[in-house]
Amino acid sequence: MADQFDLECRDVVKTFGQFTAVDQVSLTIPQGSFFSILGPSGCGKTTLLRMLAGFIEPAKGDILIKGKSVLGVAPNRRPVNMVFQHLALFPMMNVAQNVAYGLRRRGVDRAIIDKKVAETLARVGLPDAGPKQITQLSGGQKQRIAIARCLVLDPAVLLLDEPLGALDLKLREHMKVELKQLQHEIGTTFVYITHDQSEALVMSDQVAVMNAGRFEQVGTPQELYYHPQTPFVAGFVGESNRWQGTLETMADGQAIIRLDSGGVIYTDPEQVAGHSQPIGQRMDVFVRPEAITIAAKGQSSPDAAPGINNMQGRVENLLFNGAASSVQLRETTTGHEMNVALPQTGAFAGLRNGDELDLSWSAGQTKCFPATKTAPVTANAAGEAVA
């Protein structure tokens, strides 16, 4: 039933000359959910959002809001409102006038406008801000006014274009929680685009990971993190150690991948994309830093159980960051650089550069995907995640 969905896209395509910005994207967003579109800059997410708002017309496909196609409907007639990246609060008006703007365009009665504006300002926690000038507001307050300005119109869908990007880190963390709470209270459908995975994971009911104009995977934050379905998602969401190798055997509930740099990695066929790949297939292997257990050299049992991966590494760099501390290692046999999370117990607080560690993780923690032709997700994605 189409009318269950506040928003639906069917095979939406947008091209700019030779360049395809959005390629055959389909999505359905159930009523009242917080839906994020996560992707690196240039992946087409802004284009998609602007198509939903009506500032760009799709080349192909259909966009439905509450079951009705909005193709050819001008932005000022669509039942969606947008929180712009830099908020676009009107500096020539005060806060109340900003919030009242849309209602006045609808020709609503003065008295009703005043009442609704007051209600909405109260709802975003700024009941006295009405007479203030925009320049008098703090970053977080501006954010809330920009949202209030849209919410007062009762939009079917609220579109948010990376509105937290301009805030400093502390405030951003705070606003994440606040936005999620606000959405929960008012129950309006939010479509939120961002390149920051932490924003998407923390706030959303559903996240679509977008890359090169396509949706790679749509799912809950947990699904994306624990069960990535494409190498892009595995690399982009969260951090990963990555190897390249060839599938050597696949039998008895165990698959072995021979690494290009020497050594083997065991994995569970369950974790291999499609649960089966031909022998000799080139594979990309992903292991999360926090999936790896560390022990001082020689302290773990030497002949490990089958299905447990064992490696040794020499500490090259300690990255102390409180609970998110990690260590960069050089793997002894392969020479591969690895990133491993430190346990939060402080057990390895005395670690020094040059120390040797035993590393182990289970086959079930090893994700494998057939190697893609393009270079797999670069360090940038991981770097962005750290930042």
Q: Where are the alpha helices (DSSP H) in 56-153?
A: 95-105, 110-123, 139-151
Q: How far apart are CA 63 and CA 127, in angstroms?
A: 36
First vs last Cα of the chain: how many Å apart? 42
49/342 with CB nearer other proteins: 49
In the complex with other proteins, which residue's Cβ is closer, 144 or 367? 144
Q: Nearer to other proteins by C-beta: 56 or 201?
A: 56
| Complex with other proteins: residue 107 or 298, whichever CB lies closer | 107
Tokens of 330: 């050089």
Minimum distance from CB of 170 to other proteins (Å)? 25
Q: To the nearest whole angstrom, how small is the minimum distance from the Cβ of residue 208 to other proteins?
A: 22
Q: Which is nearer to other proteins, 96 or 377 (CB)?
A: 96
Closest distance to other proteins from the beta carbon of 93 (Å): 8
What is the nearest approach in angstroms of other proteins to the Cβ of residue 97? 9
The sign of the torsion formed by the CA atoms of 306, 311, 312, 318 equals negative
Footprint of other proteins (CB under 8 A): 50, 53-57, 74-78, 80-82, 84-86, 88, 90-93, 101-102, 105-106, 149-150, 153
- Does residue 157 contact residue 2 with C-beta atoms inside 8 Å? no
Question: Which one-letter amino acid corresponds to residue 111?
Answer: A
Residue 104's contacts (CB-CB under 8 Å, 6 or more residues apart) are: 113
For residue 89, give the amino acid letter: L
Tell me if residue 39 falls in helix, strand or coil: coil
Edge-to-edge order in the sheet of strand 337-341 = 293-296, 356-362, 308-319, 326-331, 337-341
What's the min distance (Å) between Cβ of 92 and other proteins? 4
Min dist CB 180 to other proteins, Å, is 23
**Which lies closer to other proteins via its Cβ, residue 121 or residue 363?**
121
